[in-house]
Structure 1
Amino acid sequence: MAKKILLTLLSIFLVCILEAQGRKSLYSMNGKDELPVFFPSDHSDGICKSMVETQGYKCEEHKVTTNDGFILSLQRIPAGQSGKIADKPPVLLQHGLFSDAMIWLFNSPDESLGFILADNGYDVWLANTRGTRYSSGHTSLTPSDKAYWEWSWDELVSYDLKACVEYVYNQTGQKLHYTGHSLGTLIALAAFSEGEMVNMIRSAALLSPIAHLNQIPSPAIKFAANIFLADDLYWLGLREFNLKEQDASKLLEGICKIPGINCANLLTVFTGPNCCINSTRIDVYLDHEPQPTSTKNLIHLAQMVRTGDIAMYNYGDQAQNMQHYGQASPPVYDMTSIPNDLPLFLSNGGKDTLSDVNDVAVFLDDLKDHNKDKLVVLSIDEYAHVDFVMGVNAKQVVYELMIDFFNHN
């Protein structure tokens, strides 16, 4: 039994590392046999003061409370570096798994999407999902409570995303453009498929779109999903999964000593061979990321890898599903129900092993009836998963085309 538990812990860590984007230990062992233990730094001043104002931009900190009690932080960049107030509609940026809003700000202002949009006249809003450092508040719970972590991406759809979109819409009085990366695309697509918030959305840009997941090429991810590893961790009582905890770093050190595992290539194994990341920004990344998520969220994603379905969380037996949904199996998010006249910009990478080209092709087939003049698809052969948010040439390769799309919608 102990051996099985150890295997479970080691393997699920490999799964959970899939978006620990840019982590130094994934690139190099620095000539040492041991991996360093990483601890979170104290950034009590918040994202505005630590990442935005330091670059010469105005920034506002906002808070919004979801209907289930989570207190989320949003940052607003209302003007460009020149000081000119935004004269274009709001844009809400939504990060992916193990990230927060910092992911849009790590590179220089002429390379980071948050700053680029502000300098192009857009009213920029940055979302931070529940459980991340600056969205760790709750009206009655604390992160040390197991109940605090009883959520999956279903709740990000029905509570977090809804609260953020409604808040920006009400604050600005305007429909907004939406930009999501990875998990940030999945929650938007799920919401759109149910007709949620589409009356407040001008258009959506989906970078490394995640929908169907069963064709992910990584053997490690498929192995972990197929033997229910995250489920075992949940059974053992682990509700929060935090890659910055000391035990997790020791776990990674143990994994790296297993024959055949090359830690220098783990990022490539899980995200694909990113072509264009600025390695000089890795220390900045480590100072802020990766962020925690819930084990239940990982279970939900693993269910998608196993089945290929885009469905609500499966509680594992018909009785529990009946209790939660009134039916024996979880309801599906029907991608064909996304409004055909909703302007969509999709960009995927040919080397991306998370938003795999074959899975993206299945999703595009879901959109076969979408109005042709409302759908733009941009495939970038050399890009992998992380390039879309940290690539030094992403402005020229992706963002300028995306901004042109926004300008016409």
Structure 2
Amino acid sequence: MGWVSNGIVGSPAFAAFDQGYDVFLGNLRGLVSREHIDKNISSRQYWRYSINEHGTQDIPAMIEKIHEIKVSELKSGRHDQEEGSSSEQPYELCTICHSLGGAAILIYVITRRIEEKPHRLSRMILLSPAGFHDDSTFVFTMMEYLFLLVAPVLAPFLPAFYIPTRFFRMLLNKLARDFHNLPAVGGLVQTLMSYVVGGDSSNWVGVLGIPHYNMNDMPGVAFRVALHLAQMKHSKKFIMFDYGSAAANLEEYGSPEPLDLGEYYGFIDIPVDLVAGRKDKVIRPSMVRKHYKLMKEAGVEASYNEFEYAHLDFTFSHREELLAYVMSRLLLVGPSSKQIYGQKSLKLKGKDEQARKS
């Protein structure tokens, strides 16, 4: 929702589309509607995932689908005739991620490189990416210690944090709409939220008021995702999920400890643009700079920038300077302009030779 919530003028997805890009909106698992291929799946099974699965299963599924679509559209003879030809691709693919999506895409790229599989990406633009969280507010630190303390007791009974029934989701939707229509009340809630996420001036109240978003497809947070974030904060490292024992970790990773992803930043073989918000209290600029420092030390082509934003401003607010910056980074991908014009020509003329080459 964040990429389109400000409409056709102020949303990153529309801005990229207006520049001629094909835009694919990815959605990580975790909707309360539980739209699963197995209609009888239990709640415990449905929510049994951490950020690991976002990076090693969800994102690969999205990108392989994009690959399938683009190869089909571009009608590359080489790809039509050679099944499994994955070392080359007739398009450039950039990814823009916010917060948890940033951590997931980094897990994706690193694990794909470790497994010697193509990640198909040309550039990553990461807006306030998750991963490092040791520098945070007192509120988040207290939540970390409390959650790690009660996690063993809660785990068997609480698979996820979400509003379970349509009635209560509808009630939240009604309250959000009331807040939005009463400036004084909405302003009070916005102010209270700003103390948590840091000076936020985004349109999140309005977004919560969109009916279908709340009643049908309101997202939830899996218990293991929350636990994974707490583990990262406690360890002061960007680690994969700790399964709780040396034996379980050994089976999953081949080592008694979960992988420290920061140690594998040398595997990142594409440019990375990191963006932080000076007012962000969820992921402070110091934590984004930690990503940047490790990447530069590992020889990654990385850039770092800061804006006067809070955490939700990156997606729910209309920020012209951010849109301009993101578009400028996309244009740094060399073949992109040729690819864009090639796609347009291909769609209009179909048999144009230059379009097929592009």
- RMSD over aligned CA atoms reads 2.9
Q: Is the 8 A contact 2:55 2:104 kept in 1?
A: yes
In the alignment, the residues of structure 1 paired with residue 38 and residue 4 of structure 2 have an alpha-carbon distance, to the nearest angstrom, of: 31
Give yes or no for the alignment of 1:408 onto 2:332: yes
Q: Is the 8 A contact 1:194 1:337 kept in 2?
A: no
The code of the aligned residue for 1:222 comes to T
- Aligned twin of 2:196: 270
Deviations 1:224-252 (A, max 9, x none): 211315615643511021146578999xx
In the alignment, the residues of structure 2 paired with residue 391 and residue 124 of structure 1 have an alpha-carbon distance, to the nearest angstrom, of: 19
Q: What is the SS of the residue equivalent to 1:368?
A: helix
Alpha-carbon distance, 1:291 to partner: 1.0
Give yes or no for the alignment of 1:226 onto 2:145: yes
The code of the aligned residue for 2:30 comes to G
Alpha-carbon distance, 1:175 to partner: 3.3
TM-aligned CA distance change 1:269 to 1:172, over 3 Å: same
- Aligned twin of 1:147: 45
Which residue, 299, 306, 319 being the options, matches 2:234? Answer: 306
Alpha-carbon distance, 1:182 to partner: 0.3
- Aligned twin of 1:164: 62
In the alignment, the residues of structure 2 paired with residue 243 and residue 204 of structure 1 have an alpha-carbon distance, to the nearest angstrom, of: 33
Alpha-carbon distance, 1:151 to partner: 0.6
Alpha-carbon distance, 1:286 to partner: 6.5
- Aligned twin of 1:348: 276
The code of the aligned residue for 1:215 comes to D
Residue-pair matches, total: 291
Equivalence map 1:106-185=2 (5 Å): 106-132=5-31, 136-140=34-38, 142=40, 144-173=42-71, 174-185=91-102
In the alignment, the residues of structure 2 paired with residue 325 and residue 335 of structure 1 have an alpha-carbon distance, to the nearest angstrom, of: 14
Q: Is the 8 A contact 1:104 1:113 kept in 2?
A: yes
Deviations 1:299-355 (A, max 9, x none): 111111111122221122223333433432222223553446412121110111122
The code of the aligned residue for 1:407 comes to L
Give yes or no for the alignment of 1:378 onto 2:305: yes
TM-aligned CA distance change 1:404 to 1:326, over 3 Å: closer
Give the number of the structure whose residues are more often helix, by fraction. 2
In the alignment, the residues of structure 1 paired with residue 59 and residue 119 of structure 2 have an alpha-carbon distance, to the nearest angstrom, of: 14
TM-aligned CA distance change 1:408 to 1:344, over 3 Å: same
User: Percent of aligned pairs with the same residue?
Assistant: 23
What is the TM-score with the length of structure 1 in the denominator? 0.64
Which residue, 292, 298, 317 being the options, matches 1:391? Answer: 317
Alpha-carbon distance, 1:121 to partner: 0.8
TM-aligned CA distance change 1:307 to 1:142, over 3 Å: farther
**Unaligned segments of structure 1, at least 5 residues:** 1-101, 254-261
TM-aligned CA distance change 1:244 to 1:113, over 3 Å: farther
Alpha-carbon distance, 1:112 to partner: 1.1
Give the number of the structure whose residues are more often strand, by fraction. 1
Alpha-carbon distance, 1:408 to partner: 2.0
Alpha-carbon distance, 1:105 to partner: 1.3
Which residue, 191, 197, 205 being the options, matches 2:125? Answer: 205
Whichever of the two has the greater Rg, that structure is 2
The code of the aligned residue for 2:16 comes to L
The code of the aligned residue for 2:49 comes to W
- Aligned twin of 2:88: none
Alpha-carbon distance, 1:288 to partner: 1.3
In the alignment, the residues of structure 2 paired with residue 142 and residue 230 of structure 1 have an alpha-carbon distance, to the nearest angstrom, of: 29
What is the TM-score with the length of structure 2 in the denominator? 0.72
Deviations 1:28-55 (A, max 9, x none): xxxxxxxxxxxxxxxxxxxxxxxxxxxx
Q: Is the 8 A contact 1:190 1:333 kept in 2?
A: yes
Q: What is the SS of the residue equivalent to 2:281?
A: coil
TM-aligned CA distance change 1:304 to 1:280, over 3 Å: closer
Q: Is the 8 A contact 2:198 2:281 kept in 1?
A: yes
TM-aligned CA distance change 1:189 to 1:280, over 3 Å: closer
Q: Is the 8 A contact 1:349 1:385 kept in 2?
A: yes
Alpha-carbon distance, 1:179 to partner: 0.8
The code of the aligned residue for 1:124 comes to V
In the alignment, the residues of structure 2 paired with residue 182 and residue 243 of structure 1 have an alpha-carbon distance, to the nearest angstrom, of: 22
In the alignment, the residues of structure 2 paired with residue 367 and residue 284 of structure 1 have an alpha-carbon distance, to the nearest angstrom, of: 39
In the alignment, the residues of structure 1 paired with residue 269 and residue 47 of structure 2 have an alpha-carbon distance, to the nearest angstrom, of: 36
TM-aligned CA distance change 1:110 to 1:229, over 3 Å: farther
Give yes or no for the alignment of 1:288 onto 2:288: no
Q: Is the 8 A contact 2:274 2:288 kept in 1?
A: no
